[in-house]
C-alpha cells in the first residue's frame, strides 16, 4: 500500500473518527444508531452507500487514534475498496501512520496462497503539507523499520540462523551506507568469548558477532552503543524447554532484530549521532557437544560463570558482547535489548518492556519516550540483596539465582557484573520478553513479532541531549 499526503479528499471511501459526544451531532447519526454503532473504542461501521467508514474513539489521544486506525485498516484490506482517505492533523500524524502501517502489517512469507488486498492507496488529507511533511516522513521511516524488525523476528529458525542473520546485516549495511564487521568463531575464540561460544557449541551453525557502525556526515553529538541478544533459536540446551515453550522460540532473537531495526531507522533519519550496534548471534541446541549444567565458563572479561541452567543462555552471550562493546567503543550511552526472562512478563505483563539500570535520569527519559511513541516500559529496581542470590560456590558468579523470585532483576544484575564502573550510569538493560512477540492482536500489533523497542528508541535518540 502507498501512503500519500494530499490537500483534497480522494479515495473510494472516507474514514471518520467519532466519539460518543461527536456521534450525536453527526449528520448520519440516525443511520449509525440504527446500525447499533455507539462509537466505543475500536468499533467500526461501514456506510457503503455514503462511501464512509466510521470508527469509534474514546478520545483524540494518539493511543486511541493509533488503535482505531489499526482496526480500520484491517477492515479496509478485507473490503473491495482500492483507495481510502483519512483526515490528519500535525498532532496525530505519527499515530495515524503507525496505526495504518503497523496495524496493516502481514507476514505472508510461508503462506502458499496469501490473501491479496485490493487496497492500494491511502490518502492522508491535511491543510498544509509543508507543515506536516517532515513528521510524516519520520513516522514512515520508523514504522517501516519496525516492520523490518518484525519480518526478521517472524522468519523461521531454519531460514534465519547466525550466518544468515549476519547476511541480513551485511545487506542493510550496503543499502544504508553502514560499516559492517562480522566475527566468526575463529575470531570469537581469539577474543576469548568463551561464554558466547559455549552457548552455540552444539549448533551446526557457526556463531557470529555482528558489528554495524553509523556515522553522520557532520560531527556527532553523542556516541551510542546498542547491543542485542540474537538467539536465532533457543531449545533451552540440555536444560531442555517443555515442548509448548519451544514454540515461538524463533522470537528469542528479537533483541538483535530490534537493534538492527534501530540502525535502519537511525541511518534513514540521518540523526547526528555516531551509533554502534552489536549482536551476539547464536543458536542454543542440544547434542554431544552441548555445554552442560555444572560447566564453568570463562568470560571475555575474565570472570568465571558456573552454569546451573543452560536455558539461562542469553545472559552468557550478552556478557561477552557487552565486554567486547565496551572495549571497541567509548560510548556516551549503552543500551542492550534482550528477550531475557519469562519472569519479566510475570512482573509487568505481556505488553510492557522492563528497564533496569542505575541511572534514574535515563530511565525517566525513556519513560517519556515510550509514552510519546505508544510503547510501554516499566522500571524494575536493582536490589543488593537479590544480587547475593547469584553467588557461586565454585566460580565468580552463577548464571541463575539460587531462588525463583525476582528473576528478571537477577538477570539484569548478572549483566551488571560485566558493566565497568565508569559505564554504570551510561547503561540500561531492556527486557523485551513480554513485548517482543504476540499471538493475539493488541493496539497496532498483529500476530508475531511486534518490533518492540524500535519506536521508543528512535524517539529517545531524536531528542537526546
Please write the tens of the pLDDT for every residue from 104-127: 999 999 999 998 999 999 999 999
Q: Which of 150, 315, 363, 459 is catalytic?
A: 315
User: Does the active-site annotation cover 241?
Assistant: yes
Q: Which of 222, 241, 387, 417 is catalytic?
A: 241
The C-alpha cell of 380 is what?
A: 524494575
Residue 356 confidence (pLDDT) above 90: yes
Please tell me the CATH code under which domain 2-127 is placed. Answer: 3.40.220.10
Residue 465 confidence (pLDDT) above 90: no
Cα–Cα distance for residue pair 33/54, rounded to 1 Å:
12
The C-alpha cell of 110 is what?
A: 510461508
pLDDT per position as a tens digit, 380-407: 999 999 999 999 999 999 999 999 999 9
C-beta separation of 122 from 84 below 8 A = yes
Alpha helices in 177-269 (DSSP H): 185-190, 194-199, 243-246, 254-269
The C-alpha cell of 306 is what?
A: 558456573
Share of the chain above pLDDT 90, in %: 98
Whole-structure pTM value: 0.97
The position carrying cell 510492557 is: 352
H or E element, residue 281: strand 274-284
Residue 9 confidence (pLDDT) above 90: no
Q: What is the pLDDT of residue 344?
A: 97
C-beta separation of 137 from 19 below 8 A = no
Mapping DSSP to helix (H, G, I), strand (E, B) and coil, where does residue 336 land? strand
CA distances from 157 to 161, 164, 233, 249, 291 (A): 6, 10, 6, 9, 20
Residue 435 confidence (pLDDT) above 90: yes
Report DSSP state, residue 445: B
pLDDT per position as a tens digit, 174-223: 999 999 999 999 999 999 999 999 999 999 999 999 999 999 999 999 99
Please tell me the CATH code under which domain 152-462 is placed. Answer: 3.40.630.10
User: Does the active-site annotation cover 221?
Assistant: no
| Average pLDDT for the chain | 97
Q: What is the pLDDT of residue 154?
A: 98
Q: What is the pLDDT of residue 10?
A: 84
Burial 358-392 (b: 16+ CB within 10 A, else e): eeeebbebbbebbeebbbbbbbbebeeebbebbeb
The C-alpha cell of 172 is what?
A: 542493510
C-beta separation of 215 from 274 below 8 A = yes
Q: Rounded mean pLDDT of 239-259?
A: 97
How much of the chain is helix, strand and coil, in % rounded to 5? 40, 20, 40
Q: What is the pLDDT of residue 368?
A: 94
Q: What is the pLDDT of residue 444?
A: 96
Residue 379 confidence (pLDDT) above 90: yes
CA distances from 388 to 154, 198, 375, 425 (A): 37, 25, 33, 21
pLDDT bucket at 285, cuts 50 / 70 / 90: very high
Q: What is the pLDDT of residue 292?
A: 98
**Shortest CA distance to 291 belongs to which of 247, 340, 239?**
239
Residue 324 confidence (pLDDT) above 90: yes
Burial 421-437 (b: 16+ CB within 10 A, else e): eebeebbbbbbbbbbbb
Going from N- to C-terminal start, the domains of the chain cover: 2-127, 152-462
- Angle between helix 162-176 and 254-269 (nearest 10): 10
Mapping DSSP to helix (H, G, I), strand (E, B) and coil, where does residue 309 land? coil
The C-alpha cell of 391 is what?
A: 553467588
Q: What is the pLDDT of residue 1?
A: 86
pLDDT bucket at 447, cuts 50 / 70 / 90: very high
Share of the chain above pLDDT 70, in %: 100
The C-alpha cell of 365 is what?
A: 527519559
pLDDT per position as a tens digit, 128-171: 999 999 999 999 999 999 999 999 999 999 999 999 999 999 99
Residue 40 confidence (pLDDT) above 90: yes
Cα–Cα distance for residue pair 9/229, rounded to 1 Å:
46
Amino acid at each position: 500500500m502507498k501512503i500519500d499526503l494530499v490537500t483534497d479528499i480522494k479515495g473510494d471511501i472516507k474514514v471518520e473518527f467519532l466519539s460518543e459526544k461527536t456521534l450525536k451531532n453527526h449528520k448520519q447519526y440516525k443511520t449509525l444508531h440504527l446500525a447499533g454503532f455507539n462509537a466505543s473504542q475500536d468499533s467500526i461501521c461501514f456506510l457503503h452507500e455514503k462511501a464512509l467508514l466510521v470508527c469509534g474513539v474514546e478520545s483524540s489521544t494518539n493511543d486511541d487514534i493509533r488503535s482505531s486506525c489499526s482496526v480500520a485498516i484491517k477492515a479496509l484490506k478485507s473490503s473491495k475498496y482500492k483507495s481510502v482517505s483519512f483526515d490528519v492533523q500535525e498532532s496525530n500524524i505519527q499515530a495515524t501512520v503507525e496505526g495504518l502501517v503497523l496495524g496493516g502489517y502481514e507476514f505472508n512469507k510461508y503462506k502458499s496462497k496469501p490473501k491479496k488486498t485490493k487496497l492500494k492507496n491511502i490518502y492522508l488529507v491535511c491543510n498544509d503539507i509543508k507543515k506536516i511533511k517532515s513528521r510524516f516522513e519520520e513516522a514512515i521511516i520508523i514504522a517501516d523499520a519496525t516492520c523490518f524488525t518484525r519480518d526478521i523476528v517472524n522468519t523461521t529458525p531454519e531460514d534465519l540462523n547466525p550466518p544468515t542473520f549476519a547476511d541480513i546485516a551485511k545487506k542493510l549495511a550496503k543499502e544504508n551506507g553502514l560499516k559492517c564487521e562480522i566475527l566468526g568463531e575463529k575470531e570469537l575464540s581469539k577474543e576469548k568469548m568463551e561464554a558466547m561460544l559455549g552457548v552455540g557449541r552444539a549448533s551446526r551453525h557457526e556463531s557470529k558477532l555482528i558489528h554495524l557502525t553509523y556515522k553522520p556526515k557532520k560531527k556527532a553529538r553523542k556516541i551510542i552503543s546498542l547491543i542485542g541478544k540474537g538467539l536465532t533459536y533457543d531449545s533451552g540446551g540440555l536444560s531442555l524447554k517443555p515442548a509448548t515453550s519451544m514454540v515461538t522460540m524463533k522470537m528469542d532473537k528479537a533483541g538483535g532484530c530490534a537493534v538492527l531495526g534501530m540502525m535502519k531507522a537511525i541511518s534513514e533519519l540521518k540523526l547526528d549521532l555516531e551509533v554502534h550496534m552489536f549482536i551476539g548471534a547464536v543458536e542454543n541446541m542440544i547434542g554431544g557437544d552441548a555445554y552442560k549444567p555444572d560447566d564453568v565458563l570463562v568470560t571475555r572479561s575474565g570472570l568465571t560463570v558456573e552454569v546451573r541452567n543452560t536455558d539461562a543462555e542469553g545472559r552468557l552471550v550478552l556478557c561477552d558482547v557487552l565486554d567486547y562493546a565496551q572495549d571497541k567503543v567509548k560510548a556516551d550511552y549503552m543500551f542492550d535489548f534482550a528477550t531475557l526472562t519469562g519472569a519479566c512478563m510475570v512482573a509487568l505483563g505481556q505488553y510492557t518492556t522492563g528497564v533496569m539500570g542505575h541511572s534514574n535520569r535515563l530511565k525517566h527519559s525513556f519513560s517519556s519516550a515510550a509514552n510519546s511513541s505508544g510503547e510501554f516500559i516499566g522500571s524494575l529496581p536493582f536490589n543488593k540483596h537479590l544480587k547475593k542470590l547469584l553467588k557461586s560456590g565454585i566460580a565468580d558468579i552463577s548464571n541463575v539465582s539460587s531462588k525463583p523470585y525476582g528473576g528478571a532483576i537477577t538477570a539484569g544484575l548478572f549483566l551488571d557484573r560485566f558493566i565497568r564502573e565508569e559505564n554504570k550510569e551510561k547503561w540500561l538493560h531492556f527486557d523485551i520478553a513480554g513485548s517482543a512477540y504476540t499471538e493475539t492482536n493488541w493496539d497496532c500489533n498483529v500476530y508475531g513479532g511486534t518490533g518492540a523497542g524500535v519506536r521508543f528508541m528512535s524517539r529517545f535518540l531524536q531528542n537526546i541531549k
